[in-house]
A and B are shown apart, each in its own frame.
Chain A
Amino acid sequence: MAARAQIGVAVMQHGKYRFIVGFLAVPLGLYALFVVWPFVQSIYYSFTDWTGLSPDFEMVGFANYARMLDDDIFWKSLQHSLLFALLVPVVTIGLALFLSFMINVGGRRRRGGPVISGVRGSAFYKIVYFFPQVLSIAIIALLFAFAYNPDSGAINSFLRAVGLDGIQPLWLGDPDLALWAVMAVIVWSTVGFFVVLFSAGMASIPLDLYEAALLDGANRITTFFRITLPLLWDTVQSGWVYMGILALGAESFAVVHIMTTGPGGPDYSTTVMVLYVYQKAFRDGQAAYATTIGVALLLVTLAFAAAVMKLGRRERLEY
């Protein structure tokens, strides 16, 4: 790339800057106006005592930040958010890789057919798995709030139906289970998307690679680690970043806000940073403090994205 880029630069100098400016002006302008500028203002608010409900406020320096470091609920929400960012993408992408590998490579070999093939009905699976993606996460959260109802909800009813009357967890009402129950909903709703995404990627992997590996004595499971995963790694990495950001932001807000006790409970067992931002800004009239927590969330997300990228680079395989 390095060598080629230099040739490219040399060849394509002519009219370059005019072109660059012409192409960047509109997207960058729009972005600066509607995204960067409001966020800069928000960061500024984190140094004030703005309530969000009146235009007057004063500068308070780092008082909000000092308060945040001393706030137990903030630390709990940070912990949970980190757990969301680490666990949800790993489980979602792991499950999606597993399922899409099954769909695309798990099929029985047919006489005269390709050495590797998808299972029967793979098209059907790809359609069904995508179902949750057509629903907004808020609606999914409502549906699962029903399913988790310990009294007449789907899950406990199922457990009773199969004779496990003794196991009737409180799910969202149990501080040891609630966070996992909430995470499971995000996983449930996003796995399908990644299955379709990875399936497309797997379908474009040349078959001769598999053939060669199989001839070398590898079984299909090892081909997954030797061929499929390395070749999909870029996709996995983008998906991971995308998923982690969702799990830190919009998705975790919707599910925690709609499903959990309180919300955020029981006993702060499910509170996440984005929920805390919302509660401070839209419930307690402490918009400045909310933006302070928001800035912390921003740093966490940046750190997460950077970490995934770095990790991704290290593990990339050449072939």
Chain B
Amino acid sequence: MGSNSAEYDGTREHGTRGRTGHGTTGVGRRDLIKRSAALGLISVPTMSFLSACASGGGDDQEKAETGKKTAKNPLGVNDTAQMEFVLFDGGFGKEYAEDAVKVYEKAFPGAKVKFSATQKIQSTLQPRFNQGTPPDLIDNSGAEQMDMGTLVGKKQLADLTPLLDAPSYDDPGTKVRDTLRPGIVEMGQFDGEQVWILYYAYTVYGVWYSQKALDSLDEQYPETWDQMLAVCAKAKKKGMAGWTYAGKYPYYLPFSLYPMIGKVGGREVLDAIDNLEPNAWKHPAVKACFEAYYELQQKGYVLKGTPGLDHIQSQTAWAKGDALFIPNGSWVENESANVMPDDFDLAVSAPTGLDSSDKLPFGTIWASGGEPFVVPAKAANAPGGMEQLRIMLSEASSKNFTGKVKSLTAYNGGTDGIELTPGLKSGVAALDVAGENVVNPRLQDWYVQLQKEKIGVSGIGEMMAGRATPAETIKKIQAFADETAKDSSVKHYKHQ
């Protein structure tokens, strides 16, 4: 190659090698350290100058004047102001939002809507938050979700109370707040009355399976753990594993494990875990449920190779019939649509409990909001963003969403008159069975790193791969939780 080849040309004979003299290419380690130290020093005197312009604060965008509040325009949207809407382009796609944008444009023909969809929420929006020029409505979701606690703590979000108290799109006599499913408003609160987030989708978590496969085993969905083991044994004889899960993202396991803990030990166990209370994980219910799951692994009821599968791979194996059960959320129906046989007959059930001494009845299920929508505090046209949300929470938009992406919305109802897919139908039925017994563990919203990386991957993931016992795992997780409770760089929350 170039740099050396030139040395073999004519000049070589003269014995004048390129660079033996100064030895300048050999960067002395000490030289470099000295130099980088010098670099570090340079930044000191410039700091005051830096802080003046570093993060571009202070030049917030001008707010659009609010329009007149009328019955048709209860939020006082300025009908000529631009409204900017950034959507997370994930499993639900962007069509539903585009449809809702059309409604907005129809209502305010003079207003321009700037709509964009991205998977990179934080890298796209972080600089704009810093600069004080965020868009008016954001679906803050996906792998690059901006940390909600930080956004709230740094007063970057607008209180959505005006939206919740506005009349709903369909009925001027009902407030938006009263058209929502239970728990949605509470989920948007952090430490007070204000509501910062509106979760638009409504997700049912649980154990997903093919009704057809279960029928072929001549079995019902098991309600106690003994029955669960019996079903798995039967499946194993037929060459089918009992369970699989997203082994590379083991934080899918809590979708059935946490509500099981809630069912066995009662809600307060889950609340204590969320509140990072000392020894919350040492509760006997946690131990019993961990041991139950560990037994699945020990008895060989978990599909071989599962710890090396990602979510798509495990869902595909499960859809092929290699495994009977998978812990997942209601998005699985949409995500696996391409690989699921037509006669799969997808169903979801609340998690199996231990036995009849459980604190809560069978049917106790985890359901909560997904797709968190926020309106930034510094948005130029906050009323516009809220109005867009109000439109999305109308019955028509909600039905459109449910029809298109096979998921429920925060709007309570919105399933009449549209044909529900098997999974969705089963989800609605599961919510009916659950009634009051819906639990909503918050670790995954409040402490992302703790839930996913520490409890999920490092704790439960290792246990389900058979590399740690339940006792070891609980000890490890409790240590992680204690660490987070003590960590002053993390904002802490409590159940109200």
Interface residues of chain A, those whose CB is within 8 Å of chain B, are 1-5, 40-41, 43-45, 49-57, 67, 145, 148-152, 156, 168, 170-175, 197-198, 200-201, 204-206, 231-235, 238, 260-262, 264-268, 279, 282-286, 289, 298-299, 302-303, 305-307, 309-310, 312-313, 318
Contact = CB atoms under 8 A, between A and B. Distances in A.
Of the listed residues B1, B3, B144, B307, the one surrounded by the most CB atoms of chain A closer than 10 A to its CB is B1
B488 to A, nearest CB: 9
A151 B461 contact: no
Given A53-B154, A174-B308, A233 B4 contact: yes
A301 B290 CA distance: 43
Contacts of A1: 16-22
Contacts of A305: 27, 32
Given A1-B21, A54-B130, A283-B449, A43 B43 contact: yes
A68 B375 CA distance: 34
B309 A149 contact: yes
B443 to A, nearest CB: 14
A53 B8 contact: no
Contact of B453 (A2, A44, A172, A262): A262
B35 to A, nearest CB: 9
9 contacts: A54-B156, A150-B307, A231-B4, A231-B8, A232-B4, A264-B453, A286-B489, A306-B29, A306-B32
B56 interface: yes
A44 B305 CA distance: 46
B123 interface: yes
Contacts of B303: 151
B462 interface: yes
A310 B24 CA distance: 11
B183 interface: no
A54 B8 contact: no
B154 A201 contact: no
B1 A266 contact: no
B458 A265 contact: yes
A289 B487 CA distance: 13
B132 interface: yes
B29 A173 contact: no
Contacts of A55: 55-58, 129-132
Contacts, number: 224
B356 interface: no
B457 A265 contact: yes
A53 B156 CA distance: 8
A300 B177 CA distance: 54
A152 B312 CA distance: 13
Contacts of B33: 302-303, 306
A235 B308 contact: no
A313 B305 contact: no
B11 to A, nearest CB: 10
Given A5-B21, A41-B54, A285 B29 contact: no
Interface of B: 1, 3-5, 7-8, 16-23, 25-29, 31-33, 36, 39-40, 42-43, 46-47, 50-51, 54-58, 122-123, 126, 129-132, 143-147, 149-151, 153-156, 247-250, 303-310, 313, 317, 322, 448-449, 452-453, 456-458, 461-462, 465, 467, 489-490
Contact of A4 (B16, B39, B304): B16
Contacts of B143: 283
A168 B46 contact: no
B453 to A, nearest CB: 6
A260 B250 CA distance: 12
Contact of A2 (B21, B55, B247): B21
B42 to A, nearest CB: 7
Given A200-B1, A232-B4, A266-B465, A170 B248 contact: no
B27 A266 contact: no
A267 B462 contact: yes
A318 B462 contact: no
A43 B42 CA distance: 11
A234 B304 contact: no
Nearest to B132: A55
A310 B27 contact: yes
A53 B1 contact: no
Closest 3 pairs (CB-CB, A-B): A55-B57, A173-B308, A150-B305
A318 B16 CA distance: 11
Contacts of A260: 248
Contact of B54 (A45, A168, A232, A238): A45
B54 A170 contact: no
B248 A262 contact: yes
B247 A235 contact: no
A130 to B, nearest CB: 15
A53 B43 contact: no
Nearest to A6: B21
B81 to A, nearest CB: 24
Contact of B448 (A150, A266, A284): A284
Contacts of A279: 449, 453
Contacts of B122: 282-283
A170 B462 contact: no
Given A145-B310, A200-B1, A282-B123, A266 B461 contact: yes
A238 B27 CA distance: 12
B320 to A, nearest CB: 9
B129 A53 contact: yes
Nearest to A241: B27
B119 to A, nearest CB: 12
Of the listed residues B4, B43, B250, B456, the one surrounded by the most CB atoms of chain A closer than 10 A to its CB is B4
A49 B26 CA distance: 38
B132 to A, nearest CB: 6
A307 B28 CA distance: 8
Contact of B4 (A49, A235, A299, A312): A235
Contacts of B150: 51-54, 285
Contacts of B144: 282-283
Contact of A309 (B27, B54, B462, B490): B27
Contact of A40 (B42, B55, B247, B317): B42
B248 A261 contact: yes
B32 to A, nearest CB: 4
B478 to A, nearest CB: 16
Contacts of A284: 147, 448-449, 490
A174 B22 CA distance: 49
Contacts of B467: 175, 267
Contacts of A156: 305
A51 B131 CA distance: 13
Contacts of B55: 50, 55, 57
Contacts of A268: 458
A200 B58 CA distance: 56
Nearest to B452: A262
Given A55-B58, A267-B461, A309 B156 contact: no
Contacts of B305: 149-151, 156, 168, 170, 173
A270 to B, nearest CB: 10
Nearest to A4: B16
Contacts of B490: 284
Contacts of A265: 248, 453, 457-458, 461
A184 to B, nearest CB: 15
Given A262-B457, A283-B449, A201 B26 contact: no
B461 A235 contact: no
Nearest to A48: B51
Given A1-B21, A172-B248, A266-B462, A52 B126 contact: yes
